[in-house]
Amino acid sequence: MLALLRRARVEPKELGTRRVEAHGLVLDQERHEVLWKGEPVDLTRAEFRLLWKLVQRPGRVWARGDLIEEITAGEALIVERNVDVHVSSLRRKLGDAGRLIATVRGVGYKCVD
């Protein structure tokens, strides 16, 4: 029985897709945790989901409509301008790291690479 448990143990390398690091910003999806230069940043669920989406593919521009899907996970109906409010809040909470979220006028947002 013990041998089965040892073999079933998940190795850290397999959890790589659940943790992202970019420019000193660390997101751990499993722990729902964000660290900026080692210090924790308190985010709402919607803010975390939004930041996770942006950081997953630096440089890719996400339309507001696509980001709404990520923020709500289909659980609520919000308008595109709510995305702007969440991004504004994220930038404020992230401090210097807020500069990593760039606005693409008329389209949406991206994480700088």
- Across the 113 residues of the chain, what is the mean pLDDT of every consecutive 10-residue run? 40 56 90 93 93 92 89 70 92 94 94 89
Number of H helices and number of E strands within the chain?
Answer: 4, 7
Structure tokens at 94: 């992230």
Q: Token match 């850290």: residue?
A: 12
pLDDT for residue 90: 95
pLDDT for residue 8: 41
**pTM strictly above 0.85:** no
Contact 100, 22 (CB under 8 A): yes
Domain ranges in the chain?
2-111
Contact 80, 109 (CB under 8 A): no
pLDDT for residue 74: 64
pLDDT for residue 82: 86
CA pair distance 63, 106, nearest whole angstrom: 9
**Fold annotation for 2-111:** Arc Repressor Mutant, subunit A (1.10.10)
pLDDT for residue 72: 77
CA distances (Å), origin 23, targets 10, 67, 86, 111: 27, 22, 21, 11
